[in-house]
Amino acid sequence: MTVNKRFSPFFKPLVLAAALSAATNAQCAGAEKGDTVQNPWSFNLGTYLWLPNIDGNFSAGPFNKSSDFSFGDIVGKMRNFPMEFNGHFEAHYERMGFYLDGNYLGADFRPARDQGYSKGLSTRMGIMEYGATYRLLGPSASERVSRWDEKSPSNILDIYAGGRTIWLGNEAVIGGISASSNVSVTAPLVGGRFTLEFSPKWFAKIDGSVGGFGVDNVSFTGSALGIIGYRTRFFGVPASVEAGYKVLSVKVDKPVLASDVIIHGAFLGLTGYW
């Protein structure tokens, strides 16, 4: 009893200091761990190759061109190789997100008969999609990136709403007579995408949207994309390689321009995440 009384004045402050130190260290460790796991921001940037088949009608003034070409036919009937650019960007904050997707296609058709004074029909199409997304099912985008090498505990479902701006330009030169028209239209769209997780590496995604609804003379525009993807890393950066099929439909009715086009074909993509 004498020993306990001798050390008790020193023992109690030491116990209190040790407890406070342990609590502080645990709080700091938890904060560091929370900062790593709960970082709300995530981004991805991708590019893709789309090998198109074109079905539809293009008109410029009094001229009309009906097309039904596979990708091989397109190359054979072009005056030059069709120009194409496609890119996709997304920014996510927790379950909210923003996306931007751009497509450009330029095709120069030869005339029906080989005439030195005819250039046939040239068509230019630019499509920009943009909007807000919300994740209804599955981990947030930042959590998915932080656990890139693991299988997601849940499949992923996103819904989105935004707009699709379409620029169409047609120019026809036949028999020395030319006509051209250019128009830009913007229409609302809604859509959703579902990601099915097979394993830590393999996944499938279905993405579909519809829009137009008569706004700005766009009676209909819709798209559908189905892909199989493989997760990997390039130089330590999370990335995915995708392959599938994409369909895009556009129907515009303008006084000087009418186009009813379905573009569809194989899809190959590469996306980086951070």
Strands 96-108 and 120-137: antiparallel
Nearest partner of 110 among 81, 139, 148, judged by Cα: 81
Burial of 70 (0-12, 13-18, 19+ CB in 10 A): middle
**73 & 112 share domain:** yes
Residues shown for the chain = 274
pLDDT digits (tens, 9 = 90+) for 59-86: 555 555 555 555 555 555 555 555 678 8
Residue 30 main-chain phi, psi, to 5 deg: -65, -35
**93 & 1 share domain:** no
Task: Calculate the alpha carbon distances from 173 to 90, 110, 184 in Å.
Answer: 41, 10, 22
Which pTM does this prediction carry? Answer: 0.73
- As for how many domains the chain has, the answer is 2
Region of residue 33 (left: phi > 0; alpha: psi -120 to 50; beta: else): alpha
**114 & 230 share domain:** yes
In this structure, is the dihedral angle defined by the CA atoms of residues 252, 254, 257 and 258, taken in order, positive or negative?
A: positive
**Which structural domain, as residue segments, surrounds residue 84?**
40-273
Stretch (H or E) spanning 72:
helix 71-77
**124 & 244 share domain:** yes
Give the CA count within 13 Å in the CB-facing half-sphere of 21. Answer: 6
The Cα 20–Cα 4 span in angstroms is: 23
Task: Find the mean pLDDT for residues 87-103.
Answer: 95
**22 & 106 share domain:** no
The Cα 218–Cα 254 span in angstroms is: 9
Nearest partner of 270 among 206, 227, 223, 236, judged by Cα: 227
**121 & 34 share domain:** no
**121 & 28 share domain:** no
Better-predicted residue by pLDDT, 13 or 231: 231
**88 & 15 share domain:** no
**20 & 44 share domain:** no
**104 & 33 share domain:** no
DSSP structure string for 216-239: GGEEEEEEEEEEEEEEEEETTEEE
**What pLDDT score was predicted for residue 185?**
84
pLDDT digits (tens, 9 = 90+) for 228-267: 999 999 999 999 999 999 999 888 876 655 577 888 899 9
**What pLDDT score was predicted for residue 117?**
43
> What mean pLDDT, rounded, does the chain reach?
78
Token pair, residue 151, equals 């299988």
pLDDT digits (tens, 9 = 90+) for 169-223: 777 666 666 666 677 889 999 999 999 999 999 999 999 999 999 898 888 999 9
Stretch (H or E) spanning 11:
helix 2-37
Residue 73 main-chain phi, psi, to 5 deg: -65, -40
**14 & 107 share domain:** no
**31 & 117 share domain:** no
pLDDT level of residue 13 (50, 70, 90 thresholds): very low
Region of residue 175 (left: phi > 0; alpha: psi -120 to 50; beta: else): left
Task: Find the mean pLDDT for residues 28-42.
Answer: 59
Burial of 126 (0-12, 13-18, 19+ CB in 10 A): middle
Residue 197 sits in a domain whose CATH number is: 2.40.128.100
Better-predicted residue by pLDDT, 10 or 167: 167
